[in-house]
Amino acid sequence: MVQSVSMRAALLGICASAAALAVAGSAAAAPQTTNAPAIFTVKVTISDKKIAMTPAHAVRGSTVTFILTNRGKKTHTFVIGDVKRGAGYGQGFAQVLRPNQQFTKVMFLDYRGSMKFFLRSGKTLTARGTFRIT
């Protein structure tokens, strides 16, 4: 009887050691890579007289989802960055929004600097600002 109790205790100790080594081994095998890029949501609320952008900055190398919402009574064109494509141009887009329309655009920010944005209603410039990429 005494021998079976000590045998059980030894077997229990071996099992506990094996479990601890398995957990430590899996943590040590984790890949040593850089962090995944950040993902930001930028809310852009457009009225007939102004643009509210929150936040107005992001980190280079991050993916940004711009959510544009036109709360005004007029159709507006929101432009950010370079709309033209090709050598010598940065990134950006233009989007026409009717009243109460919403639009979502996903962009990968691959440089540091600033992107100018502005709002047009027809040919009239309504508002402007700057989105910073740090």
All residues at 6 or more sequence positions from 101 whose CB lies less than 8 Å from its CB, including other chains:
69, 70
More confident residue, 55 or 23: 55
Query: pLDDT, tens digit, for every residue of 66-99?
Result: 999 999 999 999 999 887 766 666 788 999 999 9
pLDDT at 8 over 60: yes
Q: Which two tokens stand for residue 18?
A: 């094996």
Give DSSP secondary structure letters for 44-105. EEE-SS-EEEES-EE-TT-EEEEEEEE-SSS-EEEEEE--S-STT---EEEEEE-TT-EEEE
For 85, phi then psi, to 5°, come to -110, 155
| pLDDT value, residue 105 | 94
Stated pTM of the model: 0.68
What is the predicted pLDDT for the residue at 123?
87
Please write the tens of the pLDDT for every residue from 11-51.
Answer: 666 655 655 555 555 555 555 656 666 888 999 999 998 99
- Contact between 94 and 68 (Cβ < 8 Å): no
Tell me what pLDDT residue 111 has. Answer: 83
